[in-house]
Chains A and B, each alone.
Chain A
């Protein structure tokens, strides 16, 4: 083959691949992922990778997936996304909140590549967002925590002060308070999604402050290990089941099940029906799953938690139902009013009763 014709052929192949024309269906659809932590974190990134594997299992040779792990949020994310786009990926999943601006910048440069951004709120013609209602799981955790705490102090290892995390803290606190009016919430901000040593230190600091329930919104299982070491502290699996720590300290978990969404979105790419949008799935759609409640939880508490889960799934109960006040005492939701999705997506305040100050 002459060099020039080789170059032309290569260029043509690349163009066809990036356009994803159905006529050339033998070219696999290339799907790329960037993860904020390692695949083996056994939490958040692990769960996204389960979704990626589900795509491969579902579509076989029709797709080709790649991933980049431990991509820091910030400028480096832009480099990683650009690289994935240049490698000819037709659909790219960016699986952390902090990738938001990087996704928007890269998407503007590659209008033919479709992007999916997890937990964000900025969309474009080729950028869709998706998120799960983690706060529904937190409602169940809060109920169990409120019933089971003996010190009436609940610890919460938070990552960054963004709506997704604040919703979780508020929901857990409200539901713990509902069943146990004496409950206090102590929040420690780790300012990281994944740093096992720091997460372990944060758990130790909370336990030293007398909490006997540790909730986490970080990605590793380190807080679980620290709680296990302490003995009489309970925890909840975060993002993934973390079943290795059951029945104690992990008494149940909130599992992010991204697989059905990923399979559906890739399917839409394959049949050409992909469109930008915002998806916010919950317990009802299966995007949020509640892990098995272990025997460490008393039977009546377990029954109460399961009833709550069923009510949320059926849509008869919303975790944020008025009357609710903001932390400063001003009214937020009137009696019987439930929070709008849009409002929750921008949540930047604590509810009344939380004593800690929210970093702004």
Chain B
């Protein structure tokens, strides 16, 4: 099916693939920030996930194990960050930046022998007759399982943060760690868990990049995706559903602008290539302005170190 020279089905498929890495990383970072920790090492965790996932998928021939390894690699790096910032109380901004540099360097070292190799294919889910449906079948039921998993993770994150006791505790820790501590919640433990979850999702996003979206390992291949994820969390004013909107808008317009170029639309290319950034920011700013949550939406204890004696 084509609309104005653009193949809608191909576009949707590209949109989903293009958005998934950033969506996963941003969802993970959302949880970490909701617990009051600013981890600027998303880029580093993503690329560790990309190389770890790729290495294991190639070694075992099994992409599922690859994704698991990617999540573990991301979580491992996040735990390093957690130890430094939560136990040794190092500065979160500095440590996060260092984590990105560390991840980029270490992944380049690990990945040296994986350049130019093709990873095993990640299977598309088989929905049987559903995927035969005209248009809808191709748009909704023809993706690889990671796309559905990422959507499920966003929904689960939204549910846990907003509807469960665990989410309430996590948010309490992020809003006012002294009060949470006085109530008997283990602030450090909650934050370490949130960081590990964030790292695992960033790692999954990285693995999706190297196993599905590109698919290959190249040094420095995240090329700033981690920073986009961080920005999306802010513009989404720390809400899971808006992270989804932000990530899909960004990925969708990135895919669309390339397709418009390929279809030779006479829109200035400069406008097209800045569109993903501009439109995502504008839409998310409008969303948060409408709800009057803008700046106040940040968790109150974001970026502050906690020590029980203080």
Contact = CB atoms under 8 A, between A and B. Distances in A.
Interface of A: 37-42, 70, 155, 186-192, 194-198, 200-202, 204-206, 208-209, 211, 220-222, 225-226, 228-229, 242, 244-245, 355-357, 359
Interface of B: 7, 10-11, 14, 18, 21, 108, 111-112, 115-118, 209, 213-216, 218-225, 254-255, 258-259, 261-264, 266, 268-270, 273
10 contacts: A40-B218, A192-B223, A194-B223, A200-B215, A202-B258, A208-B11, A209-B263, A220-B218, A357-B266, A357-B269
Nearest to A228: B118
A208 B7 contact: yes
A197 B209 contact: yes
B111 A201 contact: no
A357 B255 CA distance: 20
B14 A38 contact: no
Contacts of B117: 244
A155 B14 contact: no
A39 B109 CA distance: 11
A101 to B, nearest CB: 20
A225 B54 CA distance: 14
Nearest to B274: A191
Nearest to A223: B214
Contacts of A206: 262
A42 B7 contact: no
Contacts of A155: 262
Given A202-B258, A208-B10, A222-B216, A197 B264 contact: no
Given A205-B255, A205-B258, A197 B21 contact: yes
Nearest to B15: A201
Given A191-B273, A198-B254, A359-B268, A205 B214 contact: no
A201 B218 contact: no
Given A197-B221, A201-B254, A208-B7, A189 B216 contact: no
Contact of A197 (B116, B213, B269): B213
B220 A194 contact: yes
A225 B213 CA distance: 10
Nearest to A39: B219
A171 B286 CA distance: 46
B273 A221 contact: no
Nearest to A226: B214
A166 to B, nearest CB: 13
Given A196-B216, A197-B221, A225-B216, 19 more contacts: A38-B218, A41-B220, A70-B220, A186-B264, A188-B261, A188-B262, A189-B261, A195-B224, A200-B214, A200-B215, A201-B213, A202-B262, A204-B258, A205-B259, A209-B262, A209-B263, A220-B221, A222-B218, A229-B215
Contact of B218 (A196, A355, A359): A196
B63 to A, nearest CB: 14
B269 A359 contact: yes
B218 A42 contact: yes
A244 B213 CA distance: 19
A249 to B, nearest CB: 11
Contacts of A221: 116, 216, 218
Contacts of A39: 219
Nearest to B259: A205
B219 A244 contact: no
Nearest to B112: A40
Contacts of A186: 262, 264
Contact of B225 (A191, A192, A197, A209): A197
Contacts of A192: 223
Contacts of B223: 192, 194-198
Contacts of A205: 14, 255, 258-259, 261-262
Contact of A196 (B108, B111, B214): B214
Contacts of A194: 220, 223
Contact of B262 (A38, A40, A208): A208
Nearest to B121: A229
Contacts of B18: 197, 201
A37 B223 CA distance: 10
Contacts of B262: 155, 186, 188, 202, 205-206, 208-209, 211
Given A186-B264, A196-B218, A205-B262, A40 B254 contact: no
A100 B223 CA distance: 22
Nearest to B115: A42
A42 to B, nearest CB: 6
A189 B269 contact: yes
A40 B219 contact: yes
A166 B112 CA distance: 33
B14 A204 contact: yes
A244 B118 CA distance: 9
B18 to A, nearest CB: 6
A351 B192 CA distance: 60
Given A155-B262, A194-B223, A229-B215, A40 B108 contact: yes
A201 B266 contact: no
Contacts of A244: 115-117
Nearest to A243: B116
A189 B213 CA distance: 19
B224 to A, nearest CB: 8
Nearest to A184: B264
A115 to B, nearest CB: 25
Contacts of B219: 38-41
Nearest to B267: A357
A42 B268 CA distance: 31
